[in-house]
């Protein structure tokens, strides 16, 4: 029992970071909600746009997600008619993802919303904390 008590006196960095991430995600989600997407979907739309057409395998690698997870996330974008998948020209087995016209339009609307949210978060944190956050993220 003593060992457990001693360990529990130390904060769990992972838990604290996950809680902070959920709070920060909620700020971006609230800002993007009027457009019908959340920050994870926005990030995926941006990643697709920068690399399109992009295979699911490559997209997963770019997002640090496994192929099955990114595939499920892309299917949500397809149901929202924001992305489309086609077969690769070189390898017909590989799904290639690109934005639909609606996805391009939504992304164009979402960028200023994201930028304003980014600026609001930076203003709330202040320059020193933003720098510290960037350093922390780079260190992890």
* pTM for this predicted structure: 0.87
Other residues' Cβ atoms within 10 Å of the Cβ of residue 32:
21
Q: Residues 57-76: pLDDT tens digits?
A: 999 999 999 989 999 999 99
Domain boundaries, the chain: 37-112
Q: Which CATH entry fits the domain spanning 37-112: 1.10.10.10, 1.10.240.10, 3.40.640.10, 3.90.25.10?
A: 1.10.10.10
Percent of the residues in the chain that have a pLDDT greater than 70, as a whole number: 91
By DSSP bridging, strand 95-99 and strand 54-55 are antiparallel
pLDDT of residue 47: 98
């Amino acid at each position: 029992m003593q060992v457990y008590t001693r360990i529990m006196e130390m904060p769990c960095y992972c838990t604290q970071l996950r809680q902070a991430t959920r709070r920060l995600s909620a700020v971006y989600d609230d800002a993007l909600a009027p457009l019908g997407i959340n920050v994870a979907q926005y990030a995926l739309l941006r990643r697709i746009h920068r690399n399109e057409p992009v295979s699911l395998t490559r997209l997963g690698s770019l997002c640090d997600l496994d192929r099955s997870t990114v595939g499920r996330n892309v299917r949500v974008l397809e149901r929202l008619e924001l992305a489309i998948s086609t077969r690769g020209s070189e390898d017909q087995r590989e799904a290639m993802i690109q934005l639909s016209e609606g996805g391009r339009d939504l992304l164009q609307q979402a960028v200023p919303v994201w930028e304003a949210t980014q600026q609001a978060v930076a203003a709330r944190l202040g320059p020193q904390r933003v720098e510290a956050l960037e350093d922390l993220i780079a260190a992890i």
